[in-house]
């Protein structure tokens, strides 16, 4: 009798188990499938679709931590910082939250605070979390971003030095350090503390010899009292990044115009003209023409002729500008005509995200990458397009 009862009870238990188990699994699977569908949308940058899924999941089961984290991150991306903060704070208020998930939520909340401009609160959390070895590197990176966005260069410097990592926010530490020195340099310069700015720019070069920005700064600082030093720094900068050659040549030409003395920059322009791997720069030809160095002027044209149609067009027009009047134009007139004809407005394009700006941002305001801005004139863009169309 007892055995029969036990057997029946066991059978009922087994049936109940079999009946209930798949049901539970299905709900969970559906939930997981939806969650991963949302993640997929996120990975494919289809944030609106991801947002819909995560919001729907929250209605089904508001206890799931992952959904909270995903949705909070999405709110932050959409610029709805208040909602992101609310979601993460709501998660943190749960008494049963495991410590690892709590840290994750704190990390996200600190990012929300940063995005919302609540820097002190963000800094406090990141600093605390960085004590945990798992979070150390990512929190240091976030703190560095935070100091960068608040122009707190001395703290950014300290943090990079402390980090000892070989890659910080996808940059080598020496690249970051030299940029911070350059930032400090330009702050000193704004306050008319020229000597200190020179020291800082030189420190930047010592830290990272490839730092073109520091050479450009020194060229600018010396342009007020030492044309030779200034043009030499410009020349160094050209050699560091050919993509800046037209931009820098226009700066060198400005020097000559400012002092009304073109012969002072003759050596630099001659050196530039002889570099066959640089593109054709109308101002270089016009300068040589004005200085009556016909031999080098002709050599300069011959060197660049027939490279491509746009260059030929440029050469022909520059030649026409120079020979329009029989050499009676002033140097300023010549340069002005070339500016008018070629409508040489320079824009800066971030090589990393494509952000376009009329000013040179060393730190891209869109993707937060250093050193990726490239100057392009309208002609450069036409040249690039004709090259790509082939």
**Contact footprint for Zn ion (CB under 5 A):** 350, 352-353, 355, 364, 366-367
Closest approach of Zn ion to the CB of residue 364, in Å: 3
Residues 6+ apart with CB under 8 A from 187: 153
Q: Which residue number, 319 or 355, has a Cβ lying nearer to Zn ion?
A: 355
Q: Find residue 347's DSSP bridge partners.
A: 376
DSSP string across 101-116: HHHHHHHHHHHHHHHT
SS3 (DSSP) at 324: coil
**Smaller CB distance to Zn ion: residue 56 or 353?**
353
Shortest distance in whole angstroms from residue 368 CB to Zn ion: 7
Asked if 179 contacts 371 with a C-beta cutoff of 8 angstroms, the reply is: yes
Indicate the angle between helix axes 282-290 and 266-273, nearest 10 degrees. 130
Instruction: Provide, rounded to whole angstroms, the least separation between the CB of residue 381 and Zn ion.
Output: 18
Task: Name which of 175 and 364 has its Cβ closer to Zn ion.
Answer: 364
Of the pair 250, 357, the CB lying nearest Zn ion is at 357
Q: How far is the CB of 182 from Zn ion (least distance, A)?
A: 18
Residue among 31 and 362 whose Cβ is closer to Zn ion: 362
The smaller minimum CB distance to Zn ion, of residues 6 and 353, is found at: 353
For residue 48, how many C-alpha atoms fall within 13 Å in the half-sphere facing its CB? 0
Q: For residues 91 and 133, what is the distance between their CA atoms, to the nearest angstrom?
A: 23
Residue for token digits 């971030």? Answer: 350
- Give the nearest distance from C-beta 354 to Zn ion in angstroms: 7
Nearest to Zn ion of 169, 250 (CB atom): 169
Could you tell me where the DSSP H helices lie in the chain? 2-43, 47-60, 65-77, 81-92, 99-115, 119-129, 133-149, 153-163, 173-190, 194-207, 212-222, 227-240, 245-259, 266-273, 282-290, 294-304, 309-323, 331-342, 378-388
- For residue 332, the minimal CB distance to Zn ion (Å) is 36
Measured between alpha carbons, how far is 43 from 62 in angstroms, rounded to an integer?
Answer: 23
3-class DSSP state of 328:
coil
Q: Name the minimum Å distance from CB 382 to Zn ion.
A: 23
* The 373-376 sheet, strands edge to edge: 356-357, 347-350, 373-376
- Is the Cβ of residue 303 or residue 346 nearer to Zn ion in the bound state? 346
We find the least distance from the C-beta atom of residue 374 to Zn ion, in angstroms, to be 11
């Amino acid at each position: 009798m007892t055995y029969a009862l036990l057997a029946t009870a066991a059978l009922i238990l087994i049936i109940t188990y079999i009946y209930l188990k798949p049901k539970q699994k299905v709900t969970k699977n559906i939930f997981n499938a939806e969650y991963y569908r949302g993640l997929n949308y996120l990975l494919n940058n289809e944030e609106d679709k991801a947002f819909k899924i995560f919001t729907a999941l929250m209605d089904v089961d508001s206890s799931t931590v992952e959904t909270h984290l995903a949705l909070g991150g999405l709110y932050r991306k959409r610029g709805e910082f208040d909602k992101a903060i609310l979601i993460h704070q709501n998660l943190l208020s749960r008494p049963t939250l495991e410590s690892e998930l709590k840290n994750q939520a704190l990390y996200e909340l600190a990012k929300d605070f940063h995005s919302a401009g609540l820097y002190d609160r963000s800094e406090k959390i990141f600093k605390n979390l960085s004590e945990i070895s798992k979070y150390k590197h990512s929190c240091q990176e976030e703190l560095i971003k935070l100091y960068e966005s608040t122009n707190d260069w001395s703290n950014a410097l300290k943090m990079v030095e402390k980090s000892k990592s070989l890659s910080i926010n996808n940059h080598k530490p020496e690249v970051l350090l030299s940029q911070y020195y350059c930032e400090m340099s330009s702050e000193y310069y704004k306050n008319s503390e020229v000597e200190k700015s020179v020291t800082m720019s030189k420190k930047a070069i010592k830290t990272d010899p490839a730092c073109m920005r520091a050479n450009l700064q020194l060229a600018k600082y010396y342009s007020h009292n030492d044309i030779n030093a200034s043009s030499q720094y410009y020349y160094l900068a050209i050699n560091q990044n050919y993509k800046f050659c037209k931009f820098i040549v226009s700066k060198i030409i400005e020097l000559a115009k400012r002092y009304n003395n073109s012969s002072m920059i003759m050596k630099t322009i001659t050196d530039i003209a002889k570099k066959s791997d640089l593109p054709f720069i109308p101002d270089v030809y016009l300068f040589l023409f004005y200085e009556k160095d016909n031999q080098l002027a002709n050599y300069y044209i011959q060197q660049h002729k027939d490279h491509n149609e746009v260059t030929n067009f440029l050469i022909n027009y520059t030649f026409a500008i120079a020979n329009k009047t029989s050499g009676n134009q002033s140097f300023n007139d010549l340069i002005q005509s070339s500016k008018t004809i070629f409508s040489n407005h320079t824009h800066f394009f971030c090589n990393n995200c494509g952000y376009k700006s009329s000013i040179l941002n060393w730190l891209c305001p869109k993707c937060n990458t250093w050193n990726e801005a490239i100057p392009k004139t309208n002609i450069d863009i036409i040249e690039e397009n004709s090259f790509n169309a082939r």
